[in-house]
Chain A
Amino acid sequence: MITKRIIPCLDVRDGRVVKGVNFKGLNDVDSPVALAEYYSSCGADELVFYDITASSDGRKLFTDILTETAKKVFIPLTVGGGINTVEDFDRVLKCGADKVSVNSGAIRNPNLIKEASELYGSQCVVLSVDIKRVDEEFHVFAKGGREDTGIEALSWIKRGVELGAGEIVVNSIDTDGVKKGFDIELLKKVCELVNVPVIASGGAGSIDDFIELFKKIPAIDAGLAASIFHFKEVEIMDLKKRMKEENIEVRL
């Protein structure tokens, strides 16, 4: 059977890995290449590299870091941040990315999803959505979670899949950085809505939070987190061993 995936996310700024609480107050942790190698060696199923500042100030990704990583790490790599055109897709794919994640760029130009999936295949296009509750509704936020677009999140996700997105990353701003567990309510709604893989992001603080995620939502495909892995609050190998004990399909 296919396994549930554990995905460490490396938020990169100025060539360094950073992670903030609710996206603010960023602080440096480690070198992206070294961290990527470390994660791969201890059982990460996939890695995500996000250039978190690129969508707000247009800074380009540090493609040499990506290239260096892809030379040494042989698990799937997803790249996001500042992806606004199919040329951006081309740029990161050439450096060794397997999937490209779109967020603000797709909000500005939804057709980007269609163009890219026709060119590179749906499997290559990941729609990442930052979501926050506003007046009892789920809203899509842009620019690294700083700007409320007013767009209703579930309809946006549905549209993204129709346009060709092959995977969805659901990042709950309400639970991100709080470390009290994933946003089960929101994630359940997304899993009921679409038939492409859904990756949960935002809120993991312990191994139990991942167990709760996979037990409560059997349809969820992967759990993504950053700081708890960087600061070794949760070791990926320990997490996967526990998943196996709980009869959750996992690659050990």
Chain B
Amino acid sequence: MIAIINYGVGNLFSLTSSFKAIGYEAIVTSNKDEILSADHVVLPGVGAFKDAKDKLRDSGLEDAVKEVVKKGTPILGICLGMQLLFDKSYEFGEHEGLGLIKGKVIPIGDIVSKDYKIPQIGWNALAFKKKSKLFKYIKNGDYVYFVHSYFASECEESTTSTCEYGASLTASVEKDNVYGCQFHPEKSGDVGLKILKAFCEL
């Protein structure tokens, strides 16, 4: 069973549907026991970092996420869910993240020229940086769908792929059983479904 953590942020319909489409049952839950007993856990998220982090804490699920990680259960953070995994974010101020992966989240606008539109919205190619179990069924250069204004930096150790948008932006990370995608696999067509399949098989 896959548990998609519901802490009041984001639209989880497509994510649930995409797991179903590849033959896996996923539940959307805010129940700590369900999250802890799942074989795989997904931390989704859209919107603002601070708001999401506050909601995760206030719903009591921040501890659940940390316990999941400690237990060794594979966990996948998607988009803002991935950004939450890091130490810190500089989105509208400075905010503490979950500290599960070393690095900080900063505005794309800090490092790319003004010719680049922000947010980055659209399909961009993955450039593999390291071997990742999530890439089992896809190849270097495959396209995935991004929507973001901030990105994770100073996280070279855990970066498994990047995308080119006026600079190399972190696209995916991996550290032990903790995985993160800046892009939306549930919106990335067949390539995205293949990434989710590889995650489910962990």
Interface residues of A (CB under 8 A from B): 1-3, 5, 40, 45, 67, 70-72, 74-76, 93-98, 120-124, 166-167, 195-197, 221-222, 251
Contact = CB atoms under 8 A, between A and B. Distances in A.
A121 B47 contact: yes
B47 to A, nearest CB: 5
Among A75, A94, A97, residue most surrounded by chain B Cβ atoms (within 10 Å): A75
A74 B18 contact: yes
Contacts of A251: 123, 143
B37 to A, nearest CB: 26
Contacts of B60: none
Given A95-B13, A96-B13, A98-B187, A74 B193 contact: yes
A123 B121 contact: yes
Interface stretch (B64-72, B112-120, B152-160, B172-180): B112-120
Contacts of B21: 71-72, 74
Interface string B104-126: 00000000001001111111110
B48 interface: yes
Given A40-B189, A74-B192, A96-B11, A5 B123 contact: yes
B27 interface: no
B122 A75 contact: no
Interface in B151-202: 163-165, 186-190, 192-193
A123 B189 contact: no
Closest 7 CB pairs of A and B: A251-B143, A96-B13, A251-B123, A123-B147, A3-B123, A2-B122, A71-B17
B145 interface: yes
B123 to A, nearest CB: 5
Contact of B119 (A71, A75, A94, A166): A166
A122 B135 CA distance: 30
Contacts, number: 88
B114 A195 contact: yes
Contact of B143 (A3, A76, A97): A3
Contacts of B114: 195
A61 to B, nearest CB: 15
A74 B187 contact: yes
A167 B14 contact: no
Among B13, B114, B143, residue most surrounded by chain A Cβ atoms (within 10 Å): B13
Nearest to A198: B117
A122 B46 CA distance: 11
Nearest to B165: A2
Given A123-B147, A251-B143, A195 B117 contact: yes
A70 B14 contact: yes
21 contacts: A1-B125, A2-B120, A2-B122, A2-B123, A2-B163, A67-B13, A74-B18, A74-B189, A74-B190, A75-B188, A76-B145, A94-B13, A98-B187, A121-B46, A121-B47, A123-B46, A123-B121, A123-B148, A124-B46, A195-B114, A221-B117
Nearest to A71: B17
Among B121, B149, B193, residue most surrounded by chain A Cβ atoms (within 10 Å): B121
Given A2-B122, A45-B123, 18 more contacts: A1-B164, A2-B146, A2-B163, A2-B165, A3-B123, A3-B143, A70-B13, A71-B17, A74-B190, A75-B187, A93-B11, A94-B11, A121-B47, A123-B119, A166-B121, A167-B121, A196-B119, A222-B122
A57 to B, nearest CB: 28
Nearest to B22: A74
B189 A75 contact: yes
A72 B189 CA distance: 10
A96 B17 contact: yes
A71 B118 CA distance: 29
Nearest to B13: A96
Contacts of A98: 11, 14, 187
Interface in B42-59: 46-48
Among A74, A98, A197, A222, residue most surrounded by chain B Cβ atoms (within 10 Å): A74
